[in-house]
Amino acid sequence: PPGLLEGGEFVFADDQTVLIGYGTRSNEAGVLQCARTILKEKIVKTVVMVPLPSWRVHLDGGLMFIDKDLVLYHPASVTTYPARIIKQNNENEFLYVTLDEFIKETFDAEMIPVSDNELYLFGVNTVCINRRKCIIYEWNERIINELTERSCEVFPIRGSELARGGGGPHCM
């Protein structure tokens, strides 16, 4: 206490950078507690704290790295508020950034936006099993095509029972 933090808030950009969301089911205190620990232990070099709008449950539903230079995202889910960056040996100094600009500049990443409708169909919520290899619900045809055009190997799954539980492949 007072920190609250759930697993769906973690999205790894690479092996040294983790983005951690907070809002509805996780709080800022939980992210700060986690950030201080993983930075002190040198598990990662950079933590990006991502405040979420009240209707966004977890970060993994609004943003997912498919590879270091390829990202699926729902703009309103992750760019409503500025993100904060904390780096190793600098835990008390925050750098406020627009998340999409940070990702583009830091990783030279292409960001594929998803629509509101695709968001509700768990279009962002994918499981990456390797670089450019991911599992996604089969009904997200446009997103599957976008990923395939970018040399990704996509494994579509039915997911009707998983979706009934209220989550996407990454959640489950």
Q: Which two tokens stand for residue 101?
A: 């600009």
Q: Position 66: which residue type? A: I
pLDDT, tens digit (0-9, with 9 covering 90-100), for 145-162? 999 999 999 999 998 888
Cβ distance 63 to 11 under 8 Å? yes
Q: Which two tokens stand for residue 26?
A: 């996780």
Per-residue pLDDT of the chain (172 residues; tens, 9 = 90+): 899 999 999 999 999 999 999 999 999 999 999 999 999 999 999 999 999 999 999 999 999 999 999 999 999 999 999 999 998 876 556 778 899 999 999 999 999 999 999 999 999 999 999 999 999 999 999 999 999 999 999 999 998 888 888 889 998 7
| Measured distance CA(22)–CA(56) in Å, rounded | 9
Cβ distance 121 to 160 under 8 Å? no
The structure's pTM equals 0.93
Residues in the chain: 172
Q: What phi and psi, each to the nearest 5 degrees, are found at residue 150?
A: -105, 30
| Measured distance CA(61)–CA(167) in Å, rounded | 8
